[in-house]
C-alpha cells in the first residue's frame, strides 16, 4: 500500500476555513465581544482569554476563525470602519441625483450621526487607533480606505473642479474628514472641552462642519480656476 510521504506543512489558513455549522454566528459573536473590549480597554490590555469569556467560546475558536488575537483585531478594525460608513452607503451618496454640495452635506450628516449617536464600540475602537496608532492601521489603508477615497475624491472633484488623480484631492479629503474624525475622539471621554460638543444638537454640528468644508473647497476651486 502506497503511503503519503508529503511532509510539507499544512496550509493552516485553508484548514481553518473549513466550514462549521455554527461558524458564522460564532465568528460574529467573537467580533462583537472583541469590539467591546478593544474599545473599552485597547488592544494591548485585552487578552484572548477575556475575549473568549465575553463571547462564551474557547480560545481555540478565536484561533480557528482569526488565527490569532492580532488577526482578530485586524478584522475588528476593518469592521469598525465599515460601521462608520460602508462602500455601498458611500456609493449611494456620491452617485445620488442631488447637486454635489447637497451630497457632501448628506455625507457629513451620516458621519456625525454615527459619531454622536451613541457610544458604540466601533467609534471607541477607531478613536483609540487614531489617538495611538498601531501597525494594524495598515489594514484600513490596504482594504477599507482605497475604494472609499476613490468615491469621496470624485465628489470633491465635482465641487472643486480639480481633476481626478490630482494630489490636491487627497489634501481636500483629509481637510474635510479630519474634523469629523475628531468627533469620535471627543465622544470617548467627557471632558470640559468635549462635553459641550457632545451635548450640541447634531444638526448644529453638521452645519458647522459643512460651512467650514464648503468654505475651504470653494477657495480651492477659485485657486484651481486661476
Reported as a single tens digit per residue, the pLDDT across 142-160 is: 989 999 999 999 999 999 9
Per the structure block, which three cell numbers stand in for 33?
465581544
Residue 226 clears pLDDT 90, i.e. is over it: no
> Where are the alpha helices (H) located in 85-201, listed in sequence order?
87-94, 100-116, 121-131, 138-139, 145-160, 167-186, 194-199
CATH class for the region spanning 84-225: mainly alpha
Res 18 pLDDT > 70? no
Query: What is the pLDDT, as a whole number, of residue 200?
Result: 85
pLDDT confidence of 184, banded at 50, 70, 90? confident
- pLDDT of residue 71 exceeding 80, the answer is yes
Helices (H) and strands (E) in the chain, counts: 13, 0
Domain boundaries, the chain: 12-81, 84-225
pTM for the predicted model, two decimal places:
0.80
- Say how far apart CA 138 and CA 159 lie, in whole Å: 29
State residue 6's pLDDT score: 40
User: pLDDT band at residue 11, thresholds of 50, 70 and 90?
Assistant: very low
12-81: CATH class? mainly alpha
Average pLDDT over residues 47-72: 96
* Residue pointed to by grid coordinates 449617536: 117
What are 93-140's pLDDT values in tens digits? 999 999 999 999 999 999 998 887 766 788 889 888 888 888 998 999
- The per-residue pLDDT for 4 is 40
Q: Find the length of the chain.
A: 226
Amino acid at each position: 500500500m502506497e503511503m503519503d510521504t508529503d511532509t510539507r506543512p499544512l496550509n493552516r489558513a485553508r484548514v481553518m476555513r473549513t466550514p462549521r455549522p455554527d461558524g458564522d454566528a460564532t465568528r460574529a459573536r467573537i467580533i462583537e465581544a472583541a469590539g467591546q473590549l478593544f474599545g473599552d480597554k485597547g488592544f494591548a490590555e485585552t487578552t484572548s482569554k477575556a475575549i473568549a469569556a465575553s463571547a462564551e467560546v474557547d480560545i481555540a475558536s478565536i484561533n480557528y476563525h482569526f488565527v490569532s488575537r492580532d488577526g482578530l483585531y485586524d478584522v475588528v478594525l476593518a469592521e469598525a470602519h465599515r460601521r462608520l460608513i460602508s462602500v455601498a452607503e458611500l456609493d449611494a451618496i456620491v452617485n445620488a441625483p442631488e447637486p454635489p454640495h447637497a451630497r457632501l452635506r448628506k455625507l457629513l450628516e451620516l458621519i456625525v450621526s454615527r459619531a454622536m449617536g451613541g457610544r458604540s464600540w466601533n467609534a471607541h475602537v477607531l478613536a483609540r487607533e487614531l489617538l495611538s496608532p498601531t501597525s494594524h492601521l495598515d489594514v484600513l489603508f490596504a482594504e477599507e480606505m482605497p475604494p472609499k477615497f476613490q468615491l469621496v475624491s470624485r465628489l470633491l472633484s465635482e465641487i472643486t473642479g480639480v481633476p481626478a488623480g490630482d494630489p490636491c484631492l487627497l489634501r481636500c479629503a483629509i481637510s474635510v474628514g479630519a474634523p469629523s474624525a475628531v468627533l469620535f475622539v471627543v465622544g470617548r471621554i467627557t471632558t470640559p472641552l468635549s462635553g459641550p460638543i457632545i451635548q450640541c444638537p447634531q444638526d448644529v454640528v453638521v452645519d458647522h462642519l459643512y460651512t467650514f468644508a464648503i468654505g475651504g473647497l470653494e477657495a480651492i476651486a477659485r485657486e484651481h480656476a486661476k
